[in-house]
Chain A
Amino acid sequence: MTATINQPGDTALQVPILSARGLVKTFGRVIGLDGVDLDLFPGEVLAVIGDNGAGKSTLIKCLTGALIPDAGQLTLEQAPITFRGPQDARAAGIETVYQTLAVAPALDIASNLYLGREERRPGLLGNVFRMLDHRGMRDRAAAAVRELGIQTIQNIQQTVETLSGGQRQAVAVARAAAFGSKVVVLDEPTAALGVKESNQVLDMIKGLRERGLPVILISHNMPHVWEVADRIHIQRLGRCAGVITPDSHTMTEGVAIMTGAANLEDNTST
């Protein structure tokens, strides 16, 4: 009953790039996810909102390989897929920007962009001596940062600890978007930021959509969600309470569904 309903007309015809069917995840007696469906369509920003304990993080962790669901099926580009860990999800093209940002403060921006997927020099130096292609990685990192329209980062060799919160977020997003990824998942990207920096991050999310990269955005900040999201997936008590759009529902109605003060059927049937 509470599964995904009333897709907006334009997305109903499209094929989802990532979808989940009947995801279940329990922690002992605690039910984290109780049969959740989710669809992410190409080039859209899908927001996931929900109260604390509604299962948003559990849902996202199942989508990004950080948790393994007890039941249910994930499909990426119409092919069934399972993840044993975050590396698998990453290898499949699902990039996650964690709330903690997962950047190494003492390393420079270029090293952080390539952390875990460093590139070696061609030929003998790379194959035998395993020498890294420092200059190449630096140049490509600079290009990736430029391409995303991040003007605030001047020097790609700056260490991350010297950057502001917004700039660090920009580095994390650049890393997620820079490597031919298929899906970018952002977990509370504006939670720790000021107004100006939040706007920069929102602009970056819009930039990702313009480049055709689908984004899943987890956020507590309703104005931010209503500003950038194409569709909004509402989690409540381990289930999906419905999927709405910023046009079909106001922020107040969205929060009402999220907290259980209203439910989607009531709102849409009238």
Chain B
Amino acid sequence: MTVQSATPGAAAKELARREHTTSQRIQHLLHQHPALSPAIILLLTVVCFTIVNSRFSNPAALSLLVQQTAVVAALAVGQTLIILTAGIDLSVGAIAILSMMVTATLAAENGWPAGLALAAGLVLGLAAGVLNGLLVTRIGLPPFIVTLGTLSIFTALALLYSGGQSIQNNRLPALLNWTGEGFAIGRFRVTTGVLIVIGLYVVVGFALSQTSWGRHVYAVGDDPEAARLSGVRSRRVLFSVYAVAGLIYGIAGWTLIGRAGAASPNAIVDANLESITAVVIGGTSLFGGRGGLLGTLLGALIVQAFTIGLSLAGVDAQYRLLAVGVLVIVAVSVDQWIRKVRS
């Protein structure tokens, strides 16, 4: 050691070789595992709320947590795909509602067979996504503007088509209510809707991490021009993301019927912002190319955990909004910090 530091330049070498500081190590860890920070936050949330009120972590409350998360979690799958490409989707809720109202109306009013009505709703969701995708990739409009416009258009269409009337589940066929059907796993209660959403996460998660399409989604979000020059058909990938997201919103609409016990054109008004909140708290970067579905699922659970936890603690429900707001700011700040990582 002493001999080395005597030679010129050795001091700098020693300095360069010194151990990473704790903060650098944390930065690295979070950089490599984007789902780690939401996982820690969720764990802390559950522990804290359990200390405040032990009923929080009993099976009934946890089952409720999962069931209440399901619809937003489903919407957030599509939202994650779009945010990974550095876009944003404000029409998530509107597409889900439009798809759901068309399915419910066709089945309850027009006497379509349940399967056919459901298929029509899902195709409509896909078509709505295709419209968003065409406007973004062919006309080259910013995703924010496109989906701000289609948010109004699809909301209006849903209200016009349904006449602003809800359709209660007793008028709907069994297939459409199926997503609300519950069964017990041990002491937990799960609905088919929850299982469908878990299935969505598995399938889309697989596609994102294990297929070239998934690699290309990340690459396009990271740097679309670099992806194009590397031989990725950027526009086609971007278009496919919007189309797939539309179909996912349609499926989310189906799970919403089961969750709400009715098809109502005024349901989930906060869905747009809640899905974006889940994605952002989940560690996916709004600048694209970074993040993943696991984080989004955790993010969606965190938001619901605050809702249930604060109400069990007997705190004014408005504090939930406050807490979620703080979390969003913290999550985006952490993302900015992580992006500055150096080897």
Pairwise interchain contact B219-A107, C-beta atoms closer than 8 A: yes
Number of B interface residues at 8 Å Cβ cutoff, please give it. Answer: 26
CA distance A86 to B289 in the complex (A): 23
Q: CB of B47 within 8 A of chain A?
A: no
Q: CB of A248 within 8 A of chain B?
A: no
Q: CB of B231 within 8 A of chain A?
A: yes
Contact of B227 among A104, A120, A132 (CB under 8 A): A104
Pairwise interchain contact A102-B222, C-beta atoms closer than 8 A: no
Pairwise interchain contact B215-A111, C-beta atoms closer than 8 A: yes
CA distance A52 to B339 in the complex (A): 35
Q: Classify chain A's interface size.
A: 20 to 34
Residues of A within 8 A of B165 (CB): none
A-contact bits for B178-217, CB 8 A (1 contact / 0 none):
0000000000000000000000000000100011110110
- Nearest-neighbour CB distance to chain B for A155, whole angstroms, equals 9
Pairwise interchain contact A107-B343, C-beta atoms closer than 8 A: no
Contact of B342 among A87, A112, A130, A162 (CB under 8 A): A162
Contact of A105 among B222, B228, B342 (CB under 8 A): B222
Q: CB of A26 within 8 A of chain B?
A: no
CA distance A86 to B228 in the complex (A): 9
| Residues of B41-57 whose CB lies within 8 A of A | none
Contact of A107 among B211, B222, B225, B339 (CB under 8 A): B222
- Nearest-neighbour CB distance to chain B for A164, whole angstroms, equals 9
Pairwise interchain contact A115-B227, C-beta atoms closer than 8 A: yes
CA distance A101 to B139 in the complex (A): 27
Q: Which of A98, A102, A115 has the most CB of B within 10 A?
A: A115
Pairwise interchain contact B226-A104, C-beta atoms closer than 8 A: yes
CA distance A158 to B32 in the complex (A): 9
Pairwise interchain contact B290-A116, C-beta atoms closer than 8 A: no
| Residues of A110-143 whose CB lies within 8 A of B | 111-112, 115-118, 120, 129-132, 134
Q: CB of B2 within 8 A of chain A?
A: no
Pairwise interchain contact B230-A116, C-beta atoms closer than 8 A: yes
Pairwise interchain contact B210-A132, C-beta atoms closer than 8 A: yes
Q: Which of A96, A104, A132, A163 has the most CB of B within 10 A?
A: A104
Pairwise interchain contact A115-B211, C-beta atoms closer than 8 A: no
| Residues of A55-105 whose CB lies within 8 A of B | 86-87, 90, 96, 98, 100-105
Q: CB of A106 within 8 A of chain B?
A: yes
- Nearest-neighbour CB distance to chain B for A53, whole angstroms, equals 23
| Residues of A131-167 whose CB lies within 8 A of B | 131-132, 134, 158-159, 161-163
Residues of A within 8 A of B339 (CB): 161
Question: What are some 21 contacts across the A-B interface (CB < 8 A)?
Answer: A102-B223, A102-B225, A104-B218, A104-B219, A104-B223, A104-B227, A105-B289, A106-B222, A106-B290, A107-B218, A115-B215, A115-B216, A115-B219, A116-B231, A117-B231, A129-B210, A130-B212, A131-B210, A131-B211, A159-B31, A161-B341
8 interchain residue pairs of minimum CB distance: A116-B231, A162-B343, A102-B229, A118-B212, A104-B222, A102-B226, A106-B289, A115-B230
